[in-house]
Structure 1
Amino acid sequence: MPPRISMTRKQRDALLTLPETEVEVLRHHMLGPADLAAVNQCRTPETRLSYALQLCCLRFPGRYLSRGELLPGIMLDHIADQVQADADVITLFARRGATRYEQLTSIKQRHGFRDLSRPLRDELTAWAQDEAVGLTDGRVLLDRLIERMRSARIIIPGISVVERLAATAMHSADLAAIAEIGALLSPPQCDQMDVLLSAKVHRQQSRLSWLRAPAGGVGARSLAEILDRLDLVRNTVGDAPARLPLHLNHRMAQMAREGSLYTAQAFQQMNAPRRHAVMMATLSELATTLTDAALSMFQSLVGRANLRAKKRLEETIAASAEQGRARLLRIAEVLDAVVTAVRSESDVTAAVAVIAPLDTIADDAAIIRRTLRPGRPDVLGELAPEYHVFRKIGARFLSSFAFEGGRAVQPLLAAIAVLGGIGGDRRKPLPADVPLGHLERRWSRYVFTDNSIDRSYYELATYFILANALASGGVWVATSRIHRPLEKLLAPASPATPAQPVAPVPAFNAKTILQTAWLRSMLLF
């Protein structure tokens, strides 16, 4: 079966339809002085009108005027006015069968129109194949091919012929792209892709399905699972995506959209070259999705730690207020007992001991002095219990991505490199020249204690500052779709290539996008 382009019948018929609006008629069917001179060589009004009609139809839409074809009234009237003929005389034309063909022969010789012969067909085929390299939509190529034929005055024999030319060119470009992508993959990589389709995580889930599964709830275990998936994807595709030529970007995006709809069984039914090419595109897109999921999960962990610290602080303040009233009442009773004992010249110690033990009174005094110190309760002081979550996964997260940023965040990037290099091993001390320039003033009282650095708070400060920088756009990851440099987010589409549809975002990535928006308001405290 010849290749076709996906179109409805209405869309297909509209490609070579005659102009039906005044704007189209004025644009395409205006006759110049040379055209009118050729028309006036005809003897009768009906032959002048028919000559002009066939000439205009060859120019736009670029095909022959069919015998008995119904002409739009606005087109017929416009052309008849130009040749100074009554539109009704068209019914008198071609009483002799050869007249129509004689006029066509004269028009083609005088105005340079050519039929689609073999040399021209080969030339158009080569041109269409070059154009198809950077396209993913066959209808775009079909439109360009029709415009090419009109500008070159090549008569379009029928839409099916042009459609087959465009579809064949798209198919050839697709095969060439598959071969070019396959050349970047080594046999072990192809084998690993096949294992992803055949291996089972458990009886009812393939490893590919596991890679696509939604992320779990906010937690270190969920982040670790996302990083496990990302490592598997990266180990499978290697550096092949980075070595892809730029002209394959749109076709890779199209393959990724197709691959997002295929099951493991559907992939296994493809031939090997196409399966590996589509798998590579799918896994490359999945790596970006998993990157966004990991970054958003990390921000969620920071946001949750902040909320828990706030809750603990509020509970502590509430408990202190309740205990403070009892403490103040006890101190007031002690003072009354002391005053009474002094006035009655009795034993002060015995009078005080009746109210409360001396150790309790001493503790009350210490707590009151500590409460009256200048400053206000700080959420950061309640973050220490959250360190165990980041100790499990923080260093691995930092070492999993290449964070980038401007000059202002270079101290933060240096701290990320140090903590990622240590790998969460508490037996390895922080280096003597550990970066400190990224620390904000509010963290200083917790990070610097007794002329030393509290490692737990240093790591927490780095994680929190990184989460804020990701939310504000100060730090980005080049392989992310959400956390990208601002100039890439705002960059317009290249004029050389048409804008392509955006790949669909998997369900769990949509959830992480909402989490990111929520974190922007929660992290900047």
Structure 2
Amino acid sequence: MAKRTLLKPQDRRELFDIPTDEESLIRHYSLSPADRLEIEVRRREHNRLGFAMQLCLMRYPGRALMAGEIPPKAMLNYVAEQIGADPASFDLYARREETRMNHAAHLLSYLDMRSPTAENRRAALLAAIEAASGTDKGAMIAKAIIATFREHRVLLPAPNMIERMGLAGRAVARRRAEHALISDLDPEKLRTLDRLLEVDPAIRQTRYHWLRSTPDAPGAGNLVGLTERIAFLRTLGIDPRLQARIPSGRWDQMIREGDATPAWLAGDFSASRRRATIVAQLIKLGQKLTDDAVMMFIKLMGRLFSQANNRKKQRHMNARLETSKALRLFLDTIVALQAANEEEADPMEMLDQRVGWHRLLQVKPGLEAMVENNDVSPLMMAAEQHANVRKYAGAFLQTFAFQSRRRNDPLLAAIEVIKALYAEGRRVLPDRVPVAHLAKADRERIFESGRPVRSLYEIATFALLRDRLRSRDIWVEGSRSFRPIDEHLMPKPAF
């Protein structure tokens, strides 16, 4: 098995390699007058250059010069130029181990630094745990460790040591997050989570896979399938508020790992990691399935009215020949009446002579049907598909709780009435139903016969629910996308 690492090669270079670009050299390795006075105390040229190089390295990146180490040529030239030394003289200094050690000890006092102690390493480990609670990125964790050592004014340990501390901190942060998610779950519930990875004979797949393989295409059956999954999730009794126990960065990492983990691989995890991964996925799936179901309802209602408009257009297209004949007859009638007026003849005799009164009476029923079809409202057209809407409307309404900022919102009252119809299996609306949410024209159509027509009432109510869900004027409990607008904003304390 490959050795686990914290940092990518590029991260190691950025964190630990000596910079060589001009901007970094100027920022980190420019010597002050006090530094030059301290350097000039050394008599020999190679000692002055070696002392200066160690001073620069202890300041940044914060470590001592290693035995036999030759710094990059760009750094050697830049430092040597400042003290008037030959860069080639450093080769002699690199061979004098005792001198290097003595200089390092003196520089610790000069720079007010020291070698790391157990207390410093403990503080760095705590910093690694804190950083890892918000991210899994090794570079960020290593930077937190390095920053802690620099804050305590101690030399950096070897890169491998920093990497091991980062791995340890990340492991602790992961275990803490796992414990926060599953610590309050009783043994029976934990066993229930484990059974989600077992094949269920009823559906011939694991429930874990079934929950994650949700249908995407808008359809009555697919929407019912989403509500069935949500109902199953609720039977598991996982509190979505457990997410608040986990820092957002660590939560996102757990979700990413869970998304990339198939059911068969999750079974190979340790018990703690496996159960925590399942809990995180269930909480995320509860939000996702809710969002998907609401969005599918919005699409289905939109498609309902779009298809109604298409049917209306198709009817107009099919009636083109009859419309053309009616217009020709109407034109002939106008011509006949105009001729009667010009010749001062009897209009009815002229009309009967040129057009034929019997022809006008024959086309009257057809014209009445054409006018009636042209005046039909989109609501009436959409209500023709009420039977298809009933396939999913009951399951959708029973699954979700809708909220509104409006006090005594009539739309919510109407939804409760419709929900009760589906729950009780009744087919006829009560004589008195909430109507304040409907437009005047819709109310007139719904109550045209005196009693409310259920199909028209439901479709009109669902159309308004769709619009207000899209505008977030109404939201759904348990949703991530369909929630109040102010919950998408930055909290006031953070702002």
TM-score norm. by structure 1 comes to: 0.79
- What are the Cα deviations for residues 48-68 of structure 1, in whole angstroms up to 9, with x where unaligned? 221121011011112222233
Aligned-pair CA distance for 1:98: 1.3
Work out whether 1:304 is the aligned partner of 2:287.
no
Q: Note the 1:280-295 alignment, pairs <5 A.
A: 280-295=279-294
Q: Note the 1:81-230 alignment, pairs <5 A.
A: 81-93=81-93, 96-200=96-200, 205-215=205-215, 217-230=217-230
Aligned-pair CA distance for 1:223: 0.7
Aligned-pair CA distance for 1:182: 1.1
Which stretches in structure 1 are left out of the alignment for 5+ residues?
A: 337-341, 344-350, 497-525
Q: Hey, what does 2:80 align to over in structure 1?
A: 80
Mean CA deviation greater in 372-381 or 170-179:
372-381
Aligned-pair CA distance for 1:284: 1.5
- AA aligned opposite 1:61: P
Answer yes or no: is the 8 Å Cα contact 1:40–1:48 preserved in 2. yes
- What are the Cα deviations for residues 22-80 of structure 1, in whole angstroms up to 9, with x where unaligned? 11112222333433332232223322221121011011112222233332333223322
CA distance in 2 between counterparts of 1:478 and 1:62 reads 52
Q: Hey, what does 1:275 align to over in structure 2?
A: 274
Q: Hey, what does 1:515 align to over in structure 2?
A: none
- AA aligned opposite 1:211: L
Aligned-pair CA distance for 1:21: 0.9
CA distance in 2 between counterparts of 1:151 and 1:9 reads 25
- AA aligned opposite 1:398: L
Superposed CA RMSD in Å reads 3.7
- AA aligned opposite 1:463: F
- AA aligned opposite 2:274: R
Mean CA deviation greater in 172-181 or 143-152:
143-152
Mean CA deviation greater in 447-456 or 292-301:
447-456
Q: Hey, what does 2:455 align to over in structure 1?
A: 456
TM-score norm. by structure 2 comes to: 0.83
- What are the Cα deviations for residues 220-258 of structure 1, in whole angstroms up to 9, with x where unaligned? 11110111011112322x242214434443323222211
CA gap 1:75/1:431 in 2 versus in 1, 3 angstroms? farther
Aligned-pair CA distance for 1:477: 3.3
Aligned-pair CA distance for 1:97: 3.5
Aligned-pair CA distance for 1:4: 4.1
Aligned-pair CA distance for 1:375: 7.9
Answer yes or no: is the 8 Å Cα contact 1:184–1:240 preserved in 2. no
Answer yes or no: is the 8 Å Cα contact 1:62–1:150 preserved in 2. yes
Q: Hey, what does 1:241 align to over in structure 2?
A: 240
- For residue 476 of structure 1, give the secondary structure of its aligned residue in structure 2: strand
Q: How many correspondences in the alignment? A: 475
- For residue 385 of structure 2, give the secondary structure of its aligned residue in structure 1: helix
Answer yes or no: is the 8 Å Cα contact 1:448–1:454 preserved in 2. yes
CA distance in 2 between counterparts of 1:492 and 1:100 reads 55
Q: Hey, what does 2:410 align to over in structure 1?
A: 411
- What are the Cα deviations for residues 315-370 of structure 1, in whole angstroms up to 9, with x where unaligned? 4334445456678999999xx9xxxxx99xxxxxxx99xx89xxx968x5455356
Answer yes or no: is the 8 Å Cα contact 2:226–2:289 preserved in 1. yes
Answer yes or no: is the 8 Å Cα contact 1:185–1:240 preserved in 2. no
Answer yes or no: is the 8 Å Cα contact 1:2–1:164 preserved in 2. no
Q: Hey, what does 1:58 align to over in structure 2?
A: 58
- For residue 197 of structure 2, give the secondary structure of its aligned residue in structure 1: helix
Q: Hey, what does 1:17 align to over in structure 2?
A: 17
- For residue 157 of structure 2, give the secondary structure of its aligned residue in structure 1: coil
Q: Quick one: percent identity of the two aligned structures?
A: 29
CA distance in 2 between counterparts of 1:203 and 1:465 reads 37
- For residue 475 of structure 2, give the secondary structure of its aligned residue in structure 1: strand
